Structure 1
Amino acid sequence: MASVKKLMNRNEVENQYKWSIEKVYENTESWEKDFGKLKSIAPKLLDFSGKLKDGEVLLDFLKAQEKVLRLLEKLFVYAHLKSDEDTANNTYQAIKDKIDSYFAEVMSFKAFFEPEILSLEDGVIEKAIEDTEGLKLYDFYLKNILKMKPHTLNKDMEQLLASVSDCLNAPSNIRGMLSNADMSFPLIKDEEGNEVELSEGNYVNFLRSKNRDVRKDAFLNLFKTYYKFRNTYAAALTSSIKNFIFVSKTRKFNSSLEASLKPNNIPLEVYDNAIDTINKHLDSLHRYVRIKKKLLGLEEIHMYDLYVPVIDTPKTHIEFSEACKIVKEGLKPLGKEYLDIFQSGIDNRWVDVYLNKGKRSGAYSWGCYDTMPYVLLNYNYELDDVSTLAHEMGHSMHSYYSRTNQPYIYANYELFCAEVASITNECLLIKHLIENEKDKNKRLYLINQQLEGIRATVFRQIMFAEFEKITHSSMEAGKSLTSEDLCKIWHDLNVKYFGSDMVVDSEIDMEWARIPHFYSDFYVYQYATGYAAANSFSSMILDKGEEAVEKYKGFLKSGGSDYPINILRKAGVDMTTSKPLEDTIKRFVELLDMLDS
Structure 2
Amino acid sequence: MAQIKKRNEISQQDKWKVEKIYKNVESWEKDFEKLKSMTPKLSEYAGRLSKGEKLLEYFKLDEEISRLAGKLAIFAHMKSDEDTANPTFQVLRDKIYAYSAEIQSMEAFFIPEILSLKEGTIDKFIGDIPELNMYKFLLEEILKKKPHVLSVEQEELIASVSDCLNAPEKVYNMLSNADMTFPKIKDEKGESIELTDVNYSSFIRSKNRTVREEAFKALFNTYKKYKNTLAASLTSNIKSFVFISKTRKYKSSMECSLKPNDIPIEVYNNTVDTINNNLKSLHRYVSIKKKLLGLDEMHMYDLYVPLIDTVQEHIEYDEAVKTVKEGLKPLGKEYLDIFDEGIEDGWVDIYPNKGKRGGAYSTGDYDTMPYVLLNYDYKLTDVSTLAHEMGHSIHSYYSRKNQPYIYSDYSLFCAEVASTTNESLLMHYLIDNEKVEKRKLYLINQELEQIRTTVFRQVMFAEFEKITHESIESGTPLTGEDLCKIWRNLNKKYFGLDMVMDEEIDMEWSRIPHFYSDFYVYQYATGYAAAHSFANAILKNGESAVEAYKGFLKSGSSDYPINVLRKAGVDMTTPKPLEDTIKRFDELLDMLETV
With normalisation by structure 1, the TM-score equals 0.99
| 1:53 lines up with 2:33 in the alignment | no
Question: Distance in 2 between the 1:191 and 1:293 partners?
Answer: 22
Question: Distance in 2 between the 1:468 and 1:88 partners?
Answer: 40
Which residue identity lines up with residue 475 of structure 1 in the other structure? I
| 1:303 lines up with 2:300 in the alignment | yes
Q: What residue in structure 2 maps to residue 160 of structure 1?
A: 157
Does the residue aligned with 1:344 lie in a helix, a strand or coil?
Answer: helix
Question: Distance in 1 between the 2:450 and 2:204 partners?
Answer: 16
Which residue identity lines up with residue 346 of structure 1 in the other structure? I
| 1:388 lines up with 2:376 in the alignment | no
| 1:465 lines up with 2:462 in the alignment | yes
Residues 313-371 of structure 1 deviation map (CA, whole Å, 9 limit, x = unaligned): 11111000000000000000000000000011000111111011111111111111111
Question: Distance in 2 between the 1:544 and 1:422 partners?
Answer: 20
1:120 to 113, 117, 120: 117
Q: How does 1:86-101 map to 2 (within 5 A)?
A: 86-101=83-98
| 1:223 lines up with 2:215 in the alignment | no
Does the residue aligned with 1:446 lie in a helix, a strand or coil?
Answer: helix
Q: After TM superposition, what 4+ stretches of structure 1 lie above 4 angstroms from structure 2?
A: none
| 1:561 lines up with 2:588 in the alignment | no
- Identity among equivalent pairs (%): 68
Which residue identity lines up with residue 561 of structure 1 in the other structure? S
Shift of 1:131: 1.2
1:77 to 68, 71, 74: 74
| 1:43 lines up with 2:34 in the alignment | no
Question: Distance in 2 between the 1:234 and 1:163 partners?
Answer: 26
Residues 60-109 of structure 1 deviation map (CA, whole Å, 9 limit, x = unaligned): 11111111111111111111111111111111111111122212111101
Shift of 1:307: 0.8
Question: Distance in 1 between the 2:193 and 2:63 partners?
Answer: 52
Q: How does 1:585-596 map to 2 (within 5 A)?
A: 585-596=582-593
Q: What residue in structure 1 maps to residue 486 of structure 2?
A: 489
| 1:426 lines up with 2:423 in the alignment | yes
Does the 8 Å contact 1:536/1:580 carry over to 2?
A: yes
Moved more, 316-325 or 296-305: 296-305
Which residue identity lines up with residue 195 of structure 1 in the other structure? S
2:253 to 235, 253, 256: 256
Pairwise CA RMSD? 0.8
Which residue identity lines up with residue 178 of structure 2 in the other structure? A
Residues 466-520 of structure 1 deviation map (CA, whole Å, 9 limit, x = unaligned): 0000000000100000011011111110110001111121111111111111111
| 1:288 lines up with 2:285 in the alignment | yes
Question: Distance in 1 between the 2:473 and 2:12 partners?
Answer: 57
Q: What residue in structure 2 maps to residue 138 of structure 1?
A: 135
Q: How does 1:304-383 map to 2 (within 5 A)?
A: 304-383=301-380
Shift of 1:375: 0.7
Which residue identity lines up with residue 520 of structure 1 in the other structure? S
Does the 8 Å contact 1:402/1:559 carry over to 2?
A: yes
Question: Distance in 1 between the 2:239 and 2:217 partners?
Answer: 31
Question: Distance in 2 between the 1:78 and 1:187 partners?
Answer: 43
Question: Distance in 2 between the 1:112 and 1:154 partners?
Answer: 13
Which residue identity lines up with residue 363 of structure 2 in the other structure? W
Does the residue aligned with 2:47 lie in a helix, a strand or coil?
Answer: coil
Does the 8 Å contact 1:245/1:476 carry over to 2?
A: yes
Shift of 1:193: 1.8
Question: Distance in 2 between the 1:561 and 1:186 partners?
Answer: 52
Residues 185-227 of structure 1 deviation map (CA, whole Å, 9 limit, x = unaligned): 1111211122221111111011111111111111111111111
Q: What residue in structure 2 maps to residue 454 of structure 1?
A: 451
| 1:574 lines up with 2:571 in the alignment | yes
Which residue identity lines up with residue 316 of structure 1 in the other structure? E
Does the 8 Å contact 1:53/1:125 carry over to 2?
A: no
Question: Distance in 1 between the 2:459 and 2:157 partners?
Answer: 35
Q: What residue in structure 2 maps to residue 412 of structure 1?
A: 409
Residues 549-569 of structure 1 deviation map (CA, whole Å, 9 limit, x = unaligned): 000000000000000111101
Which residue identity lines up with residue 164 of structure 1 in the other structure? V
Shift of 1:111: 0.8
Does the residue aligned with 2:374 lie in a helix, a strand or coil?
Answer: strand
Shift of 1:239: 0.7
Which residue identity lines up with residue 177 of structure 2 in the other structure? N
Question: Distance in 2 between the 1:30 and 1:230 partners?
Answer: 54
Residues 282-301 of structure 1 deviation map (CA, whole Å, 9 limit, x = unaligned): 01001101111111111111
Which residue identity lines up with residue 210 of structure 1 in the other structure? K
Which residue identity lines up with residue 250 of structure 1 in the other structure? T
Does the 8 Å contact 1:191/1:214 carry over to 2?
A: yes
2:176 to 179, 186, 208: 179
Question: Distance in 1 between the 2:368 and 2:501 partners?
Answer: 49
Which residue identity lines up with residue 430 of structure 1 in the other structure? M
Residues 238-260 of structure 1 deviation map (CA, whole Å, 9 limit, x = unaligned): 11111111111111110000011
Moved more, 392-401 or 296-305: 296-305
Which residue identity lines up with residue 553 of structure 1 in the other structure? K
Q: What residue in structure 2 maps to residue 478 of structure 1?
A: 475
Does the 8 Å contact 1:465/1:525 carry over to 2?
A: yes
Shift of 1:27: 1.2
Does the residue aligned with 1:253 lie in a helix, a strand or coil?
Answer: coil
Shift of 1:231: 1.0
Residues 518-556 of structure 1 deviation map (CA, whole Å, 9 limit, x = unaligned): 111100000000000000000100111000000000000
Does the residue aligned with 1:188 lie in a helix, a strand or coil?
Answer: strand
1:234 to 231, 243, 249: 231
Does the 8 Å contact 1:207/1:218 carry over to 2?
A: yes
Question: Distance in 1 between the 2:160 and 2:113 partners?
Answer: 18
Question: Distance in 2 between the 1:509 and 1:114 partners?
Answer: 45
Q: What residue in structure 2 maps to residue 109 of structure 1?
A: 106
Q: What residue in structure 1 maps to residue 533 of structure 2?
A: 536
Does the residue aligned with 2:199 lie in a helix, a strand or coil?
Answer: helix
Question: Distance in 2 between the 1:225 and 1:231 partners?
Answer: 13
Q: How does 1:187-206 map to 2 (within 5 A)?
A: 187-206=184-203
Question: Distance in 2 between the 1:214 and 1:103 partners?
Answer: 48
Which residue identity lines up with residue 494 of structure 1 in the other structure? N
Q: What residue in structure 2 maps to residue 269 of structure 1?
A: 266
Question: Distance in 1 between the 2:13 and 2:488 partners?
Answer: 51
Does the 8 Å contact 1:351/1:374 carry over to 2?
A: yes
Size of the aligned set, in residue pairs, is 594
Question: Distance in 2 between the 1:18 and 1:201 partners?
Answer: 29
Question: Distance in 2 between the 1:201 and 1:81 partners?
Answer: 26
Shift of 1:15: 1.0
Does the residue aligned with 1:379 lie in a helix, a strand or coil?
Answer: coil
Question: Distance in 1 between the 2:144 and 2:326 partners?
Answer: 45
